[in-house]
Amino acid sequence: MKKFILYSALLFAFNADAQDKSVDLSGFKKNGSEVIVEQKIITLTWPAGNNQTARMLIDLGKDNPLLKSIQLGKKKVYKEIGSDLDPAFVLTVGKRTLDPSSGGWDVFFDRVPKKPFHSYPVSVNKQDAKVTTNGQQTIVSISGASADRFKGTIEITLYNGSPLFNVAAVLTTQIDSTAILYDAGLVNKKALWRSMAWANVRNQLQHVTPAATDTSRNLEVKYRTIIGENPGGSLALFPAPHQYFYPLDEAFNLKFTWYGKNFHKLIAGFGMGIRQDPYGDNRYVPWFNAPPETQQRLNFFCLIDQGNADSALAEVKKFTHDDAYKAVPGYKTLATHFHNEFISEVALSGKPIPEKPEFVDVLKKHGLDIVKLAEFHGPGHPKGPDKDRLNELSTLFEQTKRLSDNEFLLLPGEEANNFYGGHWLAFFPKPVYWVMSRKPTEAFVTEDPKLGKIYHVGNKDEMLKLLEMEKGLAWTAHARTKGSTGYPDAYKDQTFFKSDTFLGAAWKAIPADLSIPTLSQRVLKLMDDMANWGLKKQVISESDIFTITHQNEMYAHLNVNYLEMDKLPNYEQGWKSVLDAMRNGKFFVSTGEVLIPSFNINGKKSGQTLTLPKNGNVKVKITLDWTFPMKFVDVISGDGREIYRERINLNDTQAFNKKTFSWPINLTGRKWVRLEAWDIAANGAFTQMIWIDK
- Whether the predicted pLDDT of 270 surpasses 50: yes
Q: Please give the pLDDT value at position 10.
A: 34
DSSP state of 396: H
Of 508, 509, 418, the residue nearest 464 (C-alpha): 418
Give pLDDT, residue 1: 33
CA gap 550, 603 in Å, rounded: 43
Give pLDDT tens digits for 292-311: 999 999 999 999 999 999 99
Q: What is the DSSP string of 577-605?
A: HHHHHHHTT-EEEE-SSEEEEEEEETTBP
CA distance to 307, 320, 690, per residue, from 157 (Å): 23, 20, 36
Average pLDDT value for residue range 14-18: 34
The dihedral through the CA atoms of 288, 289, 293, 294 has a sign that is negative
3-state secondary structure of 661: strand
Handedness of CA 96, 98, 104, 105 (dihedral sign): positive
Q: Is the model's pLDDT at 2 over the cut of 80? A: no
DSSP structure string for 45-102 = EEEEETTEEEEEEEE--TTS-SEEEEEEEETTEEEEEEEEEEEEEEEEEEE----GGG
What pLDDT score does 489 carry? 98
Half-sphere exposure of 465 (CA within 13 A, CB side): 11
pLDDT band at 465 (very low <50, low <70, confident <90, very high): very high
The answer to whether residue 12 scores a pLDDT higher than 60 is no
Of the candidates 174, 111, 114, the one whose C-alpha atom is nearest the C-alpha of residue 148 is: 174
Cα–Cα distance, 292 to 150 (Å, whole number): 10
Of 584, 581, 673, nearest to 620 (Cα)?
673
Residue pLDDT, tens place only, 575-614 = 999 999 999 999 999 999 999 999 999 999 999 999 999 9
pLDDT at 694 over 80: no
pLDDT band at 378 (very low <50, low <70, confident <90, very high): confident
Answer whether 183's CB lies under 8 Å from 244's CB: no
* Residue 20 in this model has a pLDDT that exceeds 80: no
Question: pLDDT tens-digit profile of 391-434?
Answer: 999 999 999 999 999 999 999 999 999 999 999 999 999 999 99
What is the pLDDT at residue 13? 33
Q: What's the confidence (pLDDT) of residue 21? A: 58
State residue 564's pLDDT score.
98
Check residue 15 and give its pLDDT. Answer: 34
Instruction: Please indicate whether residue 1 or residue 112 has the higher confidence score (pLDDT).
Output: 112
pLDDT at position 11 is 33
Average pLDDT in the 270-279 region? 98
pLDDT of residue 106: 97
Does residue 19 have a pLDDT over 70?
no
Band of the pLDDT at 72, cuts 50, 70, 90? very high
Position 439 scores a pLDDT of: 95
H or E element at residue 316: helix 309-317
Residue 5 has pLDDT above 90, yes or no: no
The mean pLDDT value for 492-521 works out to: 98
pLDDT of the residue at 22 = 87
Q: pLDDT for 193-240, tens place per residue?
A: 999 999 999 999 999 999 999 999 999 999 999 999 999 999 999 999
The CA distance from 547 to 424, in Å, is 20
At residue 127 the predicted structure's pLDDT band, cuts being 50, 70 and 90, is confident
**Average pLDDT over the chain, rounded to an integer:** 95
Q: How confident is the model at residue 670 (pLDDT cuts 50, 70, 90)?
A: very high
The secondary structure of 203-223, three-state, reads CCEEEECCCCCCECEEECCEE
